[in-house]
Amino acid sequence: MNDGSYDSGPVTFPVLIGGRWQPARNHQTFQAYNPATGQKLPEIYPVSDWEDLEKALAESQRVQLEVASAPPEKIACFLNTYADLLENNQEAITTMAHLETALPLKSRLRSTEFPRMINQLGQAAAAVEERSWCQATIDTRHNLRSKYGPLGGTVVIFSPNNFPLAFNSVAGSDLASAVATGNPVICKAHPGHPGTTRLMAEVLLEALSQSGLPLSTVQLLYHFSNEDGFRLVSHPAVAAVAFTGSRAAGLKLKAAAEGAGKLFYGELSSLNPVFFLPGILKEKGEAVALEFFSSCSLGCGQFCTKPGLIVLVNDEAGRKFLWKLQQIFNQPLSGYLLSPAVLENLKKAVDKLKAAGATLLAGGNQIPNCGFQFQTTLFAITGEQFLNDPETFQQEVFGTLALAVVAEDVEQMLKIAGSLEGNLTASIYSSSSEQDEEIYRRLEPILRFKAGRLLNDKMPTGVAVSPAMHHGGPFPATGHPGFTSVGIPAAFLRFAARHCYDNVGEDRLPQELRAKNPTGRMWRLVDGVWTQSDF
């Protein structure tokens, strides 16, 4: 599929527009890195100009009504077929992902992330077939009926760098949710793993063909300028944007999209604070220190749910815990950062914390001549320092870096909790002692409004693909605390509009709103009662 080469020079891979692979119009290119060596990989990918984006938008507009009216069975067929074809190509896809990210091949990509991606697609297909996700609501007395349906425009998905499979723009939960709800999609690959994205997009195109959905339902561009990105998300053909990435970039896209009246779902930043109450540190301080380090260092600290902030009280148990944590962080850690940009941001974060008066307890330096590697790093500050400058000490940074905030007492711990920004998660570790229970009762109501997911005696890095999971949170964790990017069918509702029918005849209604239950299993709210029966 190397028909995207230019007149001279090395082959440049084509973009996927209008159901076919075609050369990008722009001659500007980029290459991904191998993080384990720090060297660029040989494959060359295009940076699209506005002409490519405009063509993709026109194609999405052309097929929008056909995608919106596609039967649920056809959409489910696509999702299931796509999952099957991905499984048939698992080795090539995961091998490429390993090369571009240096994430462990067996323990991470093949045994964890790839199955998660397949599971998400399967869950989405099942929810589409069953149809309860649309929340059909029927008022027979007033002949009013409503349900969720397509937005009537294009969904644009920006892929993050830390999950090359399960959050990839062409195969992750955002893609599954947007197509499941009947919307065409334009995907932007992350420049850190374009080859992985290309391999999956090749499979996706075959799944579209086999299912009978329009081939332009999903299109792929590898990269484009910031200015063209702002122009894209504010275009009249676009209905919604899904973005996972840095706060700085996300806020600029958010302003452009929302300024044009577009929905913007952004996962922007999160420190995922962990509060260790005094009793638990007395009982098993060493054990929870090891547990914290394991979570903080998972994936080299490049999870959006990495716990990066610890809050504890300055008593004997707290001091012993912090000393033990310092010893653990001073141990060497294998693994690589995803890109030179991640490495550079980590260096800047260390310098910023030092300048703000934080005490360096462990690490703090790049590991030379080893690809993109950095020492495991631990800082500490007092509760007073945090409260005097909470903005400086609440900056998300990828890498195995944590900041311990040592409160003078419980009252200061509660003040620290109250000064936190919004997060994806917040964790409380406590014992069964009366003292910890009393503190918990005061702390929990504060943290409940600071995080989307509240954990007890558990680290936050695991995100189960469950209907009950909420992967979202108050700003700046995400742009809207009421929506999740993980958990089906709840994730669907980001890309759905409420469609109401008033005094519309039975034969003109969508099947989900007619007297007969279209699947016999679909739950509907009929005259205030949830039922699977006809009426």
Counting the structural domains of the chain, the total is 2
pLDDT of residue 6: 36
Q: Quick one: 196 and 336 in the same domain?
A: no
Is residue 129 packed enough to be buried (19+ CB in 10 Å), middle (13-18) or exposed (0-12)? middle
Q: Quick one: 260 and 298 in the same domain?
A: no
Using CA atoms, how far residue 355 sits from 10, 215, 358, 384, 509, in Å, is 45, 53, 7, 16, 64
How much of the chain exceeds pLDDT 70, in percent? 98
pLDDT of residue 9: 52
Judge whether 114 lies within some domain.
yes
Alpha helices in 236-339 (DSSP H): 247-259, 278-296, 316-329
- 48 token code pair: 């699209």
Q: Quick one: 135 and 213 in the same domain?
A: yes
CA distance 165 to 115: 9
As a whole number, mean pLDDT of residues 287-314 equals: 97
Q: Quick one: 284 and 237 in the same domain?
A: no
- 240 token code pair: 């919604």
Q: Given pLDDT bands bounded at 50, 70 and 90, which one contains residue 27?
A: confident
The residue ranges of DSSP E strands in 117-221, in sequence order, are 137-139, 144-150, 154-158, 185-188, 218-221
DSSP label at residue 506: G
DSSP codes of every residue in 459-502: -S------TT-----TTTTBS-TT--SSSTTGGGGGGEEEEEEE
Q: Between 1 and 497, whose confidence is greater? A: 497
Judged against a pLDDT cut of 70, whether residue 8 lies above it is answered with: no
Judged against a pLDDT cut of 70, whether residue 3 lies above it is answered with: no
Q: Quick one: 111 and 210 in the same domain?
A: yes
How much of the chain exceeds pLDDT 90, in percent? 96
Cα angle value 495/499/501 (rounded, 5°): 170
Q: Given pLDDT bands bounded at 50, 70 and 90, which one contains residue 332?
A: confident
Q: Given pLDDT bands bounded at 50, 70 and 90, which one contains residue 40?
A: very high
CA distance 267 to 471: 9
Q: Quick one: 342 and 372 in the same domain?
A: yes
Prediction pTM value = 0.94
For 209-268, the pLDDT digits (tens) are 999 999 999 999 999 999 999 999 999 999 999 999 999 999 999 999 999 999 999 999
Judge whether 524 lies within some domain.
no
As a whole number, mean pLDDT of residues 177-203 equals: 98
Domain of 363, CATH number, reads 3.40.309.10
Q: Quick one: 237 and 344 in the same domain?
A: no
Judge whether 523 lies within some domain.
no
Q: Quick one: 254 and 296 in the same domain?
A: no
Query: Which residue range(s) make up the domain with 48?
Result: 15-268+484-490
CA 45, distance to chain mean position in Å, is: 24
Q: Quick one: 416 and 292 in the same domain?
A: yes
CA 373, distance to chain mean position in Å, is: 24
Judge whether 504 lies within some domain.
no
Catalytic machinery residues: 267, 304
Q: Quick one: 212 and 291 in the same domain?
A: no
Rounded to the nearest integer, the mean pLDDT of the chain is 96
Among 238-252, 330-344, 489-503, the minimum mean pLDDT is found in: 330-344
pLDDT of residue 309: 98
Q: Quick one: 258 and 145 in the same domain?
A: yes
Q: Given pLDDT bands bounded at 50, 70 and 90, which one contains residue 11?
A: confident
For 144-162, the pLDDT digits (tens) are 999 999 999 999 999 999 9
As a whole number, mean pLDDT of residues 130-147 equals: 98
As a whole number, mean pLDDT of residues 509-517 equals: 98
Q: Quick one: 249 and 340 in the same domain?
A: no
Q: What is the dihedral of CA 431, 435, 440, 441, to 10 degrees?
A: 140
Which residues does 323 contact at the CB level (< 8 Å), separation at least 6? none
Judged against a pLDDT cut of 70, whether residue 180 lies above it is answered with: yes
Judged against a pLDDT cut of 80, whether residue 334 lies above it is answered with: no
Of 243, 209, 202, the residue nearest 226 (C-alpha): 243
User: What letter represents residue 266's amino acid?
Assistant: G
CA distance 471 to 376: 26
CA 76, distance to chain mean position in Å, is: 23
As a whole number, mean pLDDT of residues 476-488 equals: 95
Judge whether 226 lies within some domain.
yes
pLDDT of residue 20: 98
Judge whether 341 lies within some domain.
yes
Q: Given pLDDT bands bounded at 50, 70 and 90, which one contains residue 507?
A: very high
- 407 token code pair: 């409160």
Judge whether 5 lies within some domain.
no
